[in-house]
Chains A and B, each alone.
Chain A
């Protein structure tokens, strides 16, 4: 099989598909009409559609968070009523989890990068990819509509029997929205998994894949196996609510604990849907900005799979005080400790990658360091919560709130913003202002800790979550947290501004501004419509800096 043959036939195909006069050398210039964006099947354009979507809903979720923190400045409930407050935190949770954290990194960066990284022209199913975005938007808008219909006051967990029997909110509408977003998630995972299995370029073996791709492969498996269970659970809640029949209602023989089992069977692994892609980003960042191959590549790759698999057997740690058996609690506690092992493997391997590396403190790397800090605190407090005794003390307090914000919000945001800066030159063809980037990264890191660290103290001292009134002794910590939230908010606004600025006035980006390895950096910035003129052949291990250095110096000479 000669490679010439493959190249010729591939170029015939790409020519025959583009008889019209459009510029296929830059995916951004391949069409300027609204239709060319809304009906595109190019994975890179769909990635930008997702970037638009997740940013939009992140802002809405952020405004809700702002209102919550504003209310909590005073011990009395003087800004909103208890009922409104319930709706605020519920909607904040639903929007941030299902509309931002779950789709953010896979939707934007997974979509944009997986085909580029493995040397393919697109994902396996481009039209399903576009349909996924539409399902995401439809579900997301429905969820926002439910807010306009009076909102939901159940918390994002929809616990029964409150959600099925007593709540007077728009539970079914919000549930339907999440159900539809779930389909989007399933089809994204399916697309990624098939693409990674079937579309790798010649020579791109499994152990030559960038770790970003491994992380997304593991994420896809969780999306495929977990999300349908959430879907059926929501469906059953809707059946019970609409037809008033008992599935989870104890007065009709139902078992509310069954709902919690089904719900957390998805919703715990969902945490790994949020954080595994961020971990994939980290592997790329630590390697690129210390100019060293990732330490223990195979261990990081396998730890992603281990997290995906073990992550399916720990859901009961959300229910240690729910009335499930003590024995089940014991097992789930032990299994939860197990999942810390692959997570720690990653953290140790990233730090070992730094050893004797040539480290640069570019913006993405500051986010990477921030990730380690937030993930370490979030992960280790997770172990506190997995202990039966400790969990009895801090369950349903701000300790839990602080923990999950650190681990899934902090870590995922660091991953998202790190990725956004790192691949911004590739996606837009423009460089962002480095000084502003570094400043924003530091402000966000400080603001985040300022917001959520006091919540650990609040929780440990006994401040329950979901309350908008509290005893005056807690006020100082709440004020600290709210002040931190302001800093965090300002930090988030900075990238919005300078990144938008850079699209128009930024310096033109070279193909490989970071001297990074990986096939995505071998395409021009921004890449052409079909990614590669001819499908590349891979003949070396990933993170091979010697070759890339030689190539770059060669380019510089020429």
Chain B
């Protein structure tokens, strides 16, 4: 009972919630619902991919073979590892270990930036090789260049939208680091860390689907 009372008058409690538990579960449910909308958002692109890949399997294989599977694989590794460091960050927040929280957040952000660097190198290769859709697009091969270009339109749309999400995630973590440095978090309140954690894992999972769909076509 006394525990309940101290929670009710906590400085972290917004006026319209009864207790911290209600406040936290609301925020977490909100984040999960947001991720559901994100799945539907990416879902439209995945649906377009599915339709065109079924219509044009040959050109999609040809397009896929122009991607650098080693760089894609490297990025996959980077993101999976960053999910691990993110989980450690949330764990540190739960234990109220501020320094560790800042360390793991910074590590996750660094990995996010590394992902960007690798992605940038890949996109630059595409530019040099005239694989960016548009008037300069060029493809020599058996397949219809128009349809190979369609593969690249989807490749850039999907990885571009994903990269935008990575960027937003890095921004959110930067904000968390500032809050953590100002000692805003405690064992009883670290909801933003948990929410950004959920988001980051989602961004990671999207990549886990993008990688095989775009890079590994016909490589079995």
Contacts and interface: CB of A to CB of B under 8 A. Distances in A.
Interface stretch (B51-59, B91-99, B199-207, B208-216): B51-59
A121 to B, nearest CB: 4
A253 interface: yes
A9 B8 contact: yes
Contacts of B18: 6, 9-10, 535
A229 B40 contact: yes
A341 interface: no
Contacts of A228: 37-38, 40-41, 43-44
A232 B45 contact: yes
A255 B4 contact: no
Interface stretch (B65-73, B102-110, B142-150): B142-150
Most buried by B among A13, A14, A195, A244: A13
B134 A244 contact: yes
Interface residues of B, number: 46
Interface residues of A, number: 51
Given A199-B26, A228-B44, A232-B42, A193 B150 contact: no
B168 interface: no
A507 interface: no
Contact of B41 (A120, A194, A232, A245): A232
B34 A190 contact: yes
Contacts of B45: 232, 236
B74 interface: no
A232 B157 CA distance: 10
A232 B4 contact: no
A367 to B, nearest CB: 32
A321 B55 CA distance: 21
A226 B36 CA distance: 11
Interface stretch (B9-17, B119-127, B185-193): B9-17
Contacts of A195: 26
Interface string B133-167: 11100000000101101100110010001000000
B150 A252 contact: yes
A541 interface: no
A186 B36 CA distance: 11
B215 to A, nearest CB: 21
A233 B22 contact: no
B15 A121 contact: yes
A232 B22 CA distance: 33
Contact of A124 (B4, B30, B51, B157): B30
8 tightest A-B contacts by CB? Answer: A232-B44, A228-B41, A122-B16, A121-B16, A9-B8, A228-B40, A245-B133, A198-B26
5 contacts: A13-B9, A236-B48, A246-B150, A247-B154, A253-B144
